[in-house]
Amino acid sequence: MRNPLRAAIRPNFQHPAMKSYHLTTFGCQMNEHDSERMKGMLESLGYREVAARDEADLILFNTCSIRESADNRFVAHLGEAKRLKGEDPARIVGVGGCWSQSMKERVFERFPFVDVAFGPGQIPKLAEFLTSDSLTAQGYFEFEGFSGHLPMKRAREFQGWVQISVGCNCNCAYCIVPSTRGREASRPPGELMIEIEGLAADGVREVTLLGQNVNSYGRDLPPEEKTTFAHLLAMVDAVEGIDRIRYTSPHPKDMREDVVRAHAELDALCEHIHLPLQSGSTPILKAMRRTYDRERYLDRVALIREHVPDCALTTDIIVGFPGESEEDFRLTLDVCEQVGYDGAFTFVFSPRRGTEAALITEGLVPHEVKIERMQRLVEVVQRRAHERAQRFVGRTLEVLVEGTSRTDPSRLRGRTRHNKAVNFTGLGQPGELVMVEIDRASSQTLSGSESLLARAGAA
Ligand code: SAH
Ligand code: SF4
Ligand code: F3S
Protein backbone atom coordinates (compact mmCIF):
# COMPACT_ATOMS: atom_id res chain seq x y z
CA MET A 1 0.00 0.00 0.00
CA ARG A 2 1.35 3.38 -0.96
CA ASN A 3 1.50 5.94 1.80
CA PRO A 4 1.09 9.48 0.46
CA LEU A 5 3.52 10.68 3.11
CA ARG A 6 6.17 8.60 1.38
CA ALA A 7 5.81 10.49 -1.84
CA ALA A 8 8.79 12.70 -1.16
CA ILE A 9 9.78 13.56 -4.72
CA ARG A 10 13.47 13.47 -5.57
CA PRO A 11 13.72 16.22 -8.14
CA ASN A 12 15.62 15.51 -11.36
CA PHE A 13 17.47 12.55 -9.96
CA GLN A 14 20.05 11.22 -12.39
CA HIS A 15 22.70 8.56 -11.93
CA PRO A 16 26.00 10.45 -11.96
CA ALA A 17 28.98 8.80 -13.66
CA MET A 18 30.92 7.69 -10.57
CA LYS A 19 28.67 7.75 -7.60
CA SER A 20 29.96 7.98 -4.07
CA TYR A 21 28.54 6.79 -0.78
CA HIS A 22 29.09 7.34 2.91
CA LEU A 23 27.87 4.78 5.42
CA THR A 24 27.63 5.20 9.18
CA THR A 25 27.09 2.05 11.22
CA PHE A 26 25.56 1.90 14.69
CA GLY A 27 24.93 -1.10 16.91
CA CYS A 28 26.27 -4.60 17.21
CA GLN A 29 28.53 -6.89 15.17
CA MET A 30 25.49 -8.07 13.28
CA ASN A 31 25.10 -4.54 11.95
CA GLU A 32 28.84 -4.19 11.28
CA HIS A 33 28.61 -7.30 9.18
CA ASP A 34 25.44 -6.15 7.38
CA SER A 35 27.34 -2.96 6.55
CA GLU A 36 30.13 -4.99 4.97
CA ARG A 37 27.48 -6.58 2.76
CA MET A 38 26.00 -3.18 1.94
CA LYS A 39 29.42 -1.84 0.99
CA GLY A 40 30.21 -4.88 -1.15
CA MET A 41 26.89 -4.51 -2.91
CA LEU A 42 27.30 -0.78 -3.50
CA GLU A 43 30.80 -1.21 -4.86
CA SER A 44 29.59 -3.86 -7.26
CA LEU A 45 27.07 -1.27 -8.46
CA GLY A 46 29.91 1.16 -9.16
CA TYR A 47 29.70 3.27 -6.00
CA ARG A 48 32.91 4.28 -4.22
CA GLU A 49 33.23 4.95 -0.50
CA VAL A 50 34.14 8.48 0.66
CA ALA A 51 35.29 9.45 4.15
CA ALA A 52 33.24 12.65 4.47
CA ARG A 53 29.48 12.68 4.50
CA ASP A 54 29.27 15.98 2.62
CA GLU A 55 31.14 14.48 -0.37
CA ALA A 56 28.65 11.64 -0.82
CA ASP A 57 25.88 11.29 -3.41
CA LEU A 58 24.39 8.55 -1.26
CA ILE A 59 24.25 9.04 2.51
CA LEU A 60 23.47 5.83 4.34
CA PHE A 61 22.89 4.87 7.95
CA ASN A 62 22.76 1.36 9.35
CA THR A 63 20.86 1.90 12.57
CA CYS A 64 20.39 0.29 15.98
CA SER A 65 17.53 0.65 18.44
CA ILE A 66 18.65 -1.51 21.33
CA ARG A 67 18.53 1.36 23.84
CA GLU A 68 17.14 4.88 23.77
CA SER A 69 20.67 6.28 23.63
CA ALA A 70 21.21 4.42 20.34
CA ASP A 71 18.16 6.13 18.82
CA ASN A 72 19.24 9.54 20.01
CA ARG A 73 22.75 9.19 18.67
CA PHE A 74 21.46 8.28 15.24
CA VAL A 75 18.79 11.00 15.08
CA ALA A 76 21.48 13.62 15.76
CA HIS A 77 23.43 12.35 12.72
CA LEU A 78 20.30 12.37 10.60
CA GLY A 79 20.06 16.14 11.20
CA GLU A 80 23.26 16.61 9.21
CA ALA A 81 21.93 14.46 6.39
CA LYS A 82 18.85 16.67 6.26
CA ARG A 83 21.01 19.77 5.91
CA LEU A 84 23.12 18.18 3.16
CA LYS A 85 20.05 17.02 1.30
CA GLY A 86 18.71 20.59 1.56
CA GLU A 87 21.92 21.87 -0.09
CA ASP A 88 21.75 19.31 -2.88
CA PRO A 89 18.34 17.66 -3.33
CA ALA A 90 19.77 15.09 -5.79
CA ARG A 91 21.51 13.42 -2.87
CA ILE A 92 19.93 10.21 -1.66
CA VAL A 93 19.45 9.54 2.03
CA GLY A 94 18.98 5.89 3.04
CA VAL A 95 18.25 4.45 6.47
CA GLY A 96 18.65 0.71 7.07
CA GLY A 97 18.86 -1.51 10.14
CA CYS A 98 16.92 -2.09 13.34
CA TRP A 99 15.70 1.44 14.06
CA SER A 100 14.31 1.66 10.58
CA GLN A 101 12.58 -1.72 10.94
CA SER A 102 11.05 -0.71 14.28
CA MET A 103 9.66 2.52 12.77
CA LYS A 104 8.64 1.17 9.36
CA GLU A 105 6.61 3.76 7.41
CA ARG A 106 6.86 6.18 10.32
CA VAL A 107 10.46 6.83 9.18
CA PHE A 108 9.01 8.92 6.34
CA GLU A 109 6.47 10.65 8.57
CA ARG A 110 9.14 11.80 10.99
CA PHE A 111 11.85 12.43 8.41
CA PRO A 112 10.27 13.23 5.02
CA PHE A 113 13.69 13.87 3.43
CA VAL A 114 14.59 10.16 3.69
CA ASP A 115 14.46 8.49 0.25
CA VAL A 116 14.78 4.86 1.15
CA ALA A 117 14.31 2.94 4.38
CA PHE A 118 14.83 -0.77 4.87
CA GLY A 119 15.07 -3.35 7.61
CA PRO A 120 18.04 -5.64 8.32
CA GLY A 121 16.60 -8.39 6.10
CA GLN A 122 16.17 -6.14 3.11
CA ILE A 123 19.66 -5.04 2.13
CA PRO A 124 19.35 -6.33 -1.47
CA LYS A 125 16.33 -4.07 -1.91
CA LEU A 126 18.65 -1.09 -1.59
CA ALA A 127 20.27 -2.12 -4.88
CA GLU A 128 16.86 -2.49 -6.47
CA PHE A 129 15.94 1.01 -5.34
CA LEU A 130 19.19 2.56 -6.55
CA THR A 131 18.96 0.99 -9.96
CA SER A 132 15.28 1.77 -10.48
CA ASP A 133 13.87 5.03 -11.80
CA SER A 134 11.64 5.35 -8.77
CA LEU A 135 10.91 8.93 -7.88
CA THR A 136 9.09 8.23 -4.66
CA ALA A 137 10.50 7.32 -1.32
CA GLN A 138 10.42 3.60 -0.63
CA GLY A 139 10.31 1.42 2.44
CA TYR A 140 11.22 -2.28 2.57
CA PHE A 141 10.43 -4.08 5.78
CA GLU A 142 9.76 -7.75 5.05
CA PHE A 143 11.74 -10.45 6.82
CA GLU A 144 13.15 -12.67 4.13
CA GLY A 145 16.24 -14.76 3.68
CA PHE A 146 19.84 -13.80 4.14
CA SER A 147 22.16 -11.33 2.59
CA GLY A 148 24.76 -14.12 2.52
CA HIS A 149 24.92 -14.13 -1.27
CA LEU A 150 25.94 -10.47 -1.43
CA PRO A 151 29.57 -9.55 -1.94
CA MET A 152 31.23 -8.22 1.18
CA LYS A 153 33.85 -5.58 1.82
CA ARG A 154 35.69 -6.66 4.95
CA ALA A 155 37.25 -4.16 7.33
CA ARG A 156 40.27 -6.46 7.87
CA GLU A 157 41.32 -9.03 5.32
CA PHE A 158 42.36 -11.61 7.92
CA GLN A 159 39.18 -11.49 10.03
CA GLY A 160 35.70 -12.39 8.87
CA TRP A 161 32.20 -12.48 10.28
CA VAL A 162 29.83 -15.24 9.31
CA GLN A 163 26.15 -14.92 10.02
CA ILE A 164 24.97 -18.41 10.91
CA SER A 165 21.38 -17.45 11.73
CA VAL A 166 19.09 -14.45 11.60
CA GLY A 167 16.40 -13.41 14.06
CA CYS A 168 15.59 -14.56 17.57
CA ASN A 169 12.86 -16.80 19.00
CA CYS A 170 13.35 -15.64 22.59
CA ASN A 171 10.99 -13.24 24.31
CA CYS A 172 13.28 -11.32 26.62
CA ALA A 173 10.89 -8.75 28.05
CA TYR A 174 13.22 -5.79 27.54
CA CYS A 175 14.45 -6.56 24.05
CA ILE A 176 13.48 -5.01 20.72
CA VAL A 177 15.54 -7.42 18.57
CA PRO A 178 12.87 -10.10 17.92
CA SER A 179 10.68 -7.38 16.40
CA THR A 180 13.50 -5.90 14.29
CA ARG A 181 15.13 -9.11 13.07
CA GLY A 182 12.19 -11.52 12.99
CA ARG A 183 11.97 -15.22 13.79
CA GLU A 184 15.10 -17.29 14.06
CA ALA A 185 16.25 -18.98 10.87
CA SER A 186 19.50 -20.94 10.52
CA ARG A 187 21.50 -20.93 7.33
CA PRO A 188 22.12 -24.40 5.88
CA PRO A 189 25.49 -25.81 6.98
CA GLY A 190 26.54 -26.53 3.37
CA GLU A 191 26.10 -22.88 2.44
CA LEU A 192 28.03 -21.78 5.55
CA MET A 193 30.92 -24.11 4.82
CA ILE A 194 31.23 -22.81 1.26
CA GLU A 195 31.33 -19.28 2.65
CA ILE A 196 33.92 -20.14 5.32
CA GLU A 197 36.14 -22.07 2.90
CA GLY A 198 35.93 -19.08 0.57
CA LEU A 199 36.98 -16.76 3.40
CA ALA A 200 39.92 -19.02 4.28
CA ALA A 201 41.02 -19.09 0.63
CA ASP A 202 40.81 -15.31 0.71
CA GLY A 203 43.26 -15.02 3.62
CA VAL A 204 40.89 -15.01 6.61
CA ARG A 205 42.45 -16.65 9.69
CA GLU A 206 39.85 -15.73 12.30
CA VAL A 207 36.10 -16.16 11.87
CA THR A 208 33.40 -14.96 14.24
CA LEU A 209 30.11 -16.83 13.92
CA LEU A 210 27.19 -14.47 14.48
CA GLY A 211 23.66 -15.08 15.69
CA GLN A 212 21.35 -13.74 18.42
CA ASN A 213 21.39 -17.18 20.02
CA VAL A 214 24.12 -19.16 18.31
CA ASN A 215 23.72 -22.34 20.31
CA SER A 216 20.17 -22.87 19.16
CA TYR A 217 21.68 -23.02 15.67
CA GLY A 218 20.31 -25.73 13.40
CA ARG A 219 17.20 -26.70 15.33
CA ASP A 220 14.94 -25.25 12.65
CA LEU A 221 16.74 -26.95 9.74
CA PRO A 222 15.05 -29.76 7.79
CA PRO A 223 16.06 -33.31 8.90
CA GLU A 224 18.56 -33.83 6.06
CA GLU A 225 20.43 -30.66 7.08
CA LYS A 226 20.08 -30.92 10.88
CA THR A 227 23.30 -29.83 12.51
CA THR A 228 24.01 -28.83 16.08
CA PHE A 229 26.07 -25.79 16.91
CA ALA A 230 28.79 -28.04 18.37
CA HIS A 231 28.94 -29.99 15.11
CA LEU A 232 29.12 -26.78 13.10
CA LEU A 233 32.07 -25.68 15.26
CA ALA A 234 33.86 -28.97 14.49
CA MET A 235 33.28 -28.49 10.76
CA VAL A 236 34.69 -24.96 10.86
CA ASP A 237 37.65 -26.16 12.92
CA ALA A 238 38.49 -28.61 10.11
CA VAL A 239 38.80 -25.83 7.51
CA GLU A 240 42.41 -25.41 6.46
CA GLY A 241 43.69 -21.90 7.21
CA ILE A 242 41.14 -21.01 9.92
CA ASP A 243 43.29 -20.63 13.04
CA ARG A 244 40.73 -18.99 15.30
CA ILE A 245 36.99 -19.41 15.76
CA ARG A 246 34.87 -17.08 17.87
CA TYR A 247 31.11 -16.78 18.22
CA THR A 248 28.58 -14.44 19.75
CA SER A 249 26.22 -14.74 21.54
CA PRO A 250 25.28 -18.00 23.17
CA HIS A 251 22.23 -18.07 25.46
CA PRO A 252 22.76 -19.65 28.90
CA LYS A 253 19.54 -21.65 28.53
CA ASP A 254 20.95 -23.42 25.45
CA MET A 255 24.58 -23.75 26.54
CA ARG A 256 25.21 -27.50 26.57
CA GLU A 257 28.15 -29.66 27.46
CA ASP A 258 28.94 -30.47 23.80
CA VAL A 259 29.73 -26.81 23.08
CA VAL A 260 31.75 -26.43 26.29
CA ARG A 261 33.74 -29.57 25.44
CA ALA A 262 34.35 -28.25 21.94
CA HIS A 263 36.37 -25.43 23.54
CA ALA A 264 38.65 -28.02 25.10
CA GLU A 265 38.85 -30.24 22.02
CA LEU A 266 38.96 -28.04 18.92
CA ASP A 267 42.30 -26.37 18.25
CA ALA A 268 40.89 -23.31 16.53
CA LEU A 269 38.06 -22.58 18.98
CA CYS A 270 39.24 -19.75 21.24
CA GLU A 271 39.25 -19.85 25.04
CA HIS A 272 36.61 -17.18 25.43
CA ILE A 273 32.87 -17.38 25.99
CA HIS A 274 30.56 -14.40 26.13
CA LEU A 275 27.73 -15.62 28.34
CA PRO A 276 25.12 -12.91 28.93
CA LEU A 277 23.93 -12.88 32.55
CA GLN A 278 21.53 -9.86 32.50
CA SER A 279 20.74 -10.28 36.20
CA GLY A 280 21.95 -12.45 39.08
CA SER A 281 18.52 -12.56 40.70
CA THR A 282 16.15 -15.39 39.80
CA PRO A 283 12.92 -13.34 40.22
CA ILE A 284 14.34 -10.62 37.93
CA LEU A 285 15.51 -13.21 35.39
CA LYS A 286 11.99 -14.57 35.49
CA ALA A 287 10.47 -11.13 34.93
CA MET A 288 12.94 -10.64 32.08
CA ARG A 289 11.74 -13.98 30.62
CA ARG A 290 15.28 -15.25 30.31
CA THR A 291 14.14 -18.85 31.03
CA TYR A 292 17.13 -19.73 33.22
CA ASP A 293 17.71 -19.00 36.88
CA ARG A 294 20.73 -17.95 38.90
CA GLU A 295 21.63 -21.59 39.70
CA ARG A 296 21.47 -22.72 36.08
CA TYR A 297 23.71 -19.83 35.07
CA LEU A 298 26.29 -20.56 37.78
CA ASP A 299 26.12 -24.21 36.86
CA ARG A 300 27.02 -23.30 33.24
CA VAL A 301 29.99 -21.32 34.52
CA ALA A 302 31.09 -24.31 36.64
CA LEU A 303 30.84 -26.58 33.59
CA ILE A 304 33.00 -24.19 31.56
CA ARG A 305 35.58 -23.92 34.34
CA GLU A 306 35.65 -27.70 34.71
CA HIS A 307 36.41 -28.38 31.03
CA VAL A 308 38.32 -25.21 30.11
CA PRO A 309 39.76 -23.82 33.37
CA ASP A 310 41.55 -20.90 31.69
CA CYS A 311 38.55 -19.83 29.58
CA ALA A 312 37.88 -16.10 29.56
CA LEU A 313 34.30 -15.23 30.43
CA THR A 314 32.56 -12.00 29.53
CA THR A 315 28.95 -10.97 29.94
CA ASP A 316 26.13 -8.45 29.47
CA ILE A 317 24.30 -7.06 32.50
CA ILE A 318 21.26 -4.79 32.76
CA VAL A 319 20.74 -2.70 35.90
CA GLY A 320 17.48 -1.11 36.95
CA PHE A 321 15.03 -3.52 35.32
CA PRO A 322 11.53 -2.73 36.70
CA GLY A 323 11.10 -4.38 40.09
CA GLU A 324 14.84 -4.75 40.75
CA SER A 325 15.28 -4.27 44.50
CA GLU A 326 18.51 -3.56 46.35
CA GLU A 327 18.56 -7.26 47.27
CA ASP A 328 18.14 -8.32 43.61
CA PHE A 329 20.93 -6.00 42.61
CA ARG A 330 23.23 -7.40 45.32
CA LEU A 331 22.64 -10.86 43.87
CA THR A 332 23.93 -9.54 40.53
CA LEU A 333 27.01 -8.09 42.25
CA ASP A 334 27.47 -11.41 43.98
CA VAL A 335 27.53 -13.34 40.67
CA CYS A 336 30.12 -10.86 39.37
CA GLU A 337 32.25 -11.45 42.48
CA GLN A 338 31.91 -15.22 42.19
CA VAL A 339 32.50 -15.57 38.46
CA GLY A 340 35.19 -12.93 38.09
CA TYR A 341 34.43 -11.91 34.52
CA ASP A 342 37.27 -10.94 32.21
CA GLY A 343 35.02 -8.11 31.06
CA ALA A 344 31.38 -7.05 30.98
CA PHE A 345 29.11 -4.78 29.00
CA THR A 346 26.87 -3.04 31.51
CA PHE A 347 23.65 -1.30 30.54
CA VAL A 348 21.03 0.79 32.31
CA PHE A 349 17.57 -0.59 31.52
CA SER A 350 15.94 1.38 28.74
CA PRO A 351 12.25 0.84 27.91
CA ARG A 352 11.87 0.02 24.19
CA ARG A 353 8.77 0.54 22.10
CA GLY A 354 6.69 -2.56 21.60
CA THR A 355 8.38 -4.61 24.34
CA GLU A 356 6.70 -6.17 27.34
CA ALA A 357 8.92 -4.41 29.86
CA ALA A 358 8.06 -0.99 28.45
CA LEU A 359 4.47 -1.52 29.64
CA ILE A 360 5.44 -2.17 33.26
CA THR A 361 4.35 0.72 35.44
CA GLU A 362 5.09 -0.68 38.88
CA GLY A 363 8.40 -0.95 40.64
CA LEU A 364 10.20 1.36 38.23
CA VAL A 365 13.72 2.08 39.45
CA PRO A 366 14.42 5.81 39.83
CA HIS A 367 17.10 7.21 37.54
CA GLU A 368 19.48 8.13 40.39
CA VAL A 369 19.23 4.60 41.81
CA LYS A 370 20.06 3.13 38.39
CA ILE A 371 23.11 5.38 38.12
CA GLU A 372 24.28 4.56 41.64
CA ARG A 373 23.89 0.82 40.98
CA MET A 374 25.72 1.12 37.69
CA GLN A 375 28.68 2.74 39.47
CA ARG A 376 28.81 -0.04 42.04
CA LEU A 377 28.54 -2.67 39.33
CA VAL A 378 31.32 -1.18 37.22
CA GLU A 379 33.56 -1.04 40.29
CA VAL A 380 33.10 -4.78 40.97
CA VAL A 381 33.40 -5.78 37.29
CA GLN A 382 36.61 -3.79 36.81
CA ARG A 383 38.21 -4.90 40.04
CA ARG A 384 37.54 -8.56 39.27
CA ALA A 385 38.63 -8.18 35.62
CA HIS A 386 41.87 -6.57 36.83
CA GLU A 387 42.46 -9.42 39.27
CA ARG A 388 41.66 -12.07 36.65
CA ALA A 389 43.95 -10.45 34.09
CA GLN A 390 46.97 -10.92 36.40
CA ARG A 391 46.93 -14.64 35.49
CA PHE A 392 48.36 -13.68 32.10
CA VAL A 393 51.39 -11.82 33.47
CA GLY A 394 54.56 -13.85 32.90
CA ARG A 395 52.91 -16.03 30.25
CA THR A 396 53.73 -16.06 26.53
CA LEU A 397 50.47 -15.83 24.58
CA GLU A 398 49.57 -16.19 20.94
CA VAL A 399 48.46 -12.82 19.56
CA LEU A 400 46.84 -12.06 16.21
CA VAL A 401 48.38 -8.76 15.13
CA GLU A 402 45.69 -6.25 14.16
CA GLY A 403 47.74 -3.08 13.55
CA THR A 404 49.56 -0.34 15.44
CA SER A 405 48.70 0.56 19.02
CA ARG A 406 46.13 3.33 19.33
CA THR A 407 48.06 5.08 22.08
CA ASP A 408 51.64 4.55 20.91
CA PRO A 409 52.35 4.26 17.18
CA SER A 410 55.74 2.65 17.85
CA ARG A 411 53.96 -0.37 19.33
CA LEU A 412 51.63 -3.00 17.90
CA ARG A 413 48.17 -4.04 18.89
CA GLY A 414 46.48 -7.41 18.69
CA ARG A 415 44.27 -9.90 20.50
CA THR A 416 44.92 -13.06 22.43
CA ARG A 417 42.77 -16.15 22.04
CA HIS A 418 41.09 -15.00 25.28
CA ASN A 419 39.98 -11.89 23.36
CA LYS A 420 42.16 -9.61 25.45
CA ALA A 421 43.58 -6.61 23.62
CA VAL A 422 47.39 -6.48 23.84
CA ASN A 423 49.71 -3.56 23.17
CA PHE A 424 53.25 -4.76 22.54
CA THR A 425 56.61 -4.06 20.98
CA GLY A 426 57.50 -6.34 18.10
CA LEU A 427 57.93 -6.91 14.41
CA GLY A 428 54.72 -8.73 13.53
CA GLN A 429 52.64 -7.71 10.53
CA PRO A 430 48.85 -7.30 10.62
CA GLY A 431 47.27 -10.74 10.15
CA GLU A 432 50.26 -12.61 11.61
CA LEU A 433 50.11 -14.80 14.70
CA VAL A 434 53.01 -13.97 17.03
CA MET A 435 53.97 -14.98 20.54
CA VAL A 436 53.97 -12.16 23.10
CA GLU A 437 55.47 -12.22 26.59
CA ILE A 438 52.99 -10.46 28.84
CA ASP A 439 54.53 -8.18 31.46
CA ARG A 440 51.57 -6.06 32.59
CA ALA A 441 47.80 -6.44 32.78
CA SER A 442 44.97 -4.03 33.51
CA SER A 443 41.24 -4.78 33.52
CA GLN A 444 41.00 -3.91 29.82
CA THR A 445 44.36 -4.52 28.15
CA LEU A 446 47.57 -6.51 28.38
CA SER A 447 51.02 -5.19 27.63
CA GLY A 448 54.18 -7.01 26.55
CA SER A 449 56.81 -7.66 23.94
CA GLU A 450 57.01 -10.08 21.08
CA SER A 451 59.01 -13.16 21.89
CA LEU A 452 61.49 -13.29 19.01
CA LEU A 453 62.78 -16.57 20.35
CA ALA A 454 59.36 -18.18 20.03
CA ARG A 455 59.01 -16.63 16.58
CA ALA A 456 62.37 -18.01 15.46
CA GLY A 457 61.46 -21.35 16.99
CA ALA A 458 58.21 -21.44 15.08
CA ALA A 459 59.88 -20.61 11.76
N1 SAH B 1 21.20 -11.66 21.51
C2 SAH B 1 22.14 -11.23 22.42
C3 SAH B 1 22.14 -9.80 22.83
C4 SAH B 1 21.62 -8.77 21.98
S5 SAH B 1 21.48 -7.18 22.65
C6 SAH B 1 21.96 -12.01 23.69
O7 SAH B 1 20.88 -12.39 24.03
O8 SAH B 1 22.95 -12.16 24.33
C9 SAH B 1 22.95 -6.92 23.60
C10 SAH B 1 22.67 -6.59 25.02
O11 SAH B 1 22.00 -5.36 25.13
C12 SAH B 1 21.81 -7.56 25.77
O13 SAH B 1 22.50 -8.70 26.17
C14 SAH B 1 21.33 -6.74 26.93
O15 SAH B 1 22.23 -6.80 28.01
C16 SAH B 1 21.34 -5.32 26.38
N17 SAH B 1 19.98 -4.81 26.19
C18 SAH B 1 19.06 -5.27 25.31
N19 SAH B 1 17.92 -4.58 25.44
C20 SAH B 1 18.11 -3.66 26.42
C21 SAH B 1 17.29 -2.66 27.02
N22 SAH B 1 16.04 -2.47 26.64
N23 SAH B 1 17.82 -1.89 27.99
C24 SAH B 1 19.11 -2.08 28.40
N25 SAH B 1 19.92 -3.02 27.86
C26 SAH B 1 19.43 -3.80 26.89
FE1 SF4 C 1 17.10 -10.05 22.68
FE2 SF4 C 1 16.88 -12.07 24.33
FE3 SF4 C 1 16.92 -12.54 21.72
FE4 SF4 C 1 19.13 -11.71 22.93
S5 SF4 C 1 18.07 -13.65 23.31
S6 SF4 C 1 18.29 -10.91 21.03
S7 SF4 C 1 18.37 -10.37 24.52
S8 SF4 C 1 15.31 -11.43 22.84
FE1 F3S D 1 22.15 -5.16 16.87
FE2 F3S D 1 21.10 -2.91 17.66
FE3 F3S D 1 19.78 -4.44 16.00
S4 F3S D 1 22.25 -4.27 18.89
S5 F3S D 1 20.46 -6.51 16.44
S6 F3S D 1 21.73 -3.41 15.61
S7 F3S D 1 18.92 -3.26 17.66
CATH number reported for the structural domain that contains residue 383 in this entry: 3.80.30.20
Q: Ligand 2 mean position to 278 CA, how many Å?
A: 11
Q: Ligand 1 mean position to 172 CA, how many Å?
A: 9
Give CA 143 to chain center in angstroms: 19
> Which of 65, 174, 175 has most ligand 1 atoms within 8 Å of CB, for mutation?
175
DSSP character for 150? S
For the cut 60, the answer to whether the pLDDT of residue 9 exceeds it is no
Give yes or no: residues 222 and 119 share one domain.
no
Cβ proximity of 206 and 162 under 8 Å: no
Average pLDDT along the chain: 93
pLDDT of residue 454: 63
Give yes or no: residues 290 and 423 share one domain.
no
Residue 398 sits in which domain range? 393-450
> How many whole angstroms separate alpha carbon 214 and alpha carbon 207?
14
DSSP character for 279? -
Q: Is 3 among the domain residues? A: no
pLDDT of residue 7: 36
Q: Is 346 among the domain residues? A: yes
Q: Given pLDDT bands bounded at 50, 70 and 90, which one contains residue 409?
A: very high
> How many whole angstroms separate alpha carbon 362 and alpha carbon 342?
34
Residues 6+ apart with CB under 8 A from 317: 277, 278, 279, 332, 336, 344, 345, 346, 347, 377, 381
Q: Round the CA-based radius of gyration of the chain to a whole number and report it.
A: 23
pLDDT of residue 152: 84
> How many whole angstroms separate alpha carbon 340 and alpha carbon 457?
35
> Which of 67, 169, 174, 175 has most ligand 2 atoms within 8 Å of CB, for mutation?
175
> How many whole angstroms separate alpha carbon 9 and alpha carbon 7?
6
Give yes or no: residues 269 and 383 share one domain.
yes
Question: Which ligand lies nearest to the CA atom of residue 291 in the structure?
Answer: 2
Residues 6+ apart with CB under 8 A from 431: 156, 157, 158, 203, 205, 400, 401
* Contact 66 CB / ligand 1 (< 6 Å): yes
Cβ proximity of 349 and 370 under 8 Å: yes
Measured by CA distance, the residue closest to atom 12 of ligand 1 is 316
Q: Given pLDDT bands bounded at 50, 70 and 90, which one contains residue 321?
A: very high
**For 65-83, what is each residue's pLDDT tens digit?**
999 999 988 988 999 999 9
The CATH number assigned to the domain holding 57 equals 3.40.50.12160
> How many whole angstroms separate alpha carbon 97 and alpha carbon 181?
9
CA 430, 271, 274, 377 dihedral sign is: negative
> How many whole angstroms separate alpha carbon 79 and alpha carbon 61?
12
* Distances in whole angstroms, Cα of residue 156 to Cα of each of 30, 105, 162, 398: 16, 35, 14, 19
Q: Ligand 1 mean position to 341 CA, how many Å?
A: 17
Measured by CA distance, the residue closest to atom 1 of ligand 3 is 28
Give yes or no: residues 372 and 416 share one domain.
no
Question: Which ligand lies nearest to the CA atom of residue 180 in the structure?
Answer: 3
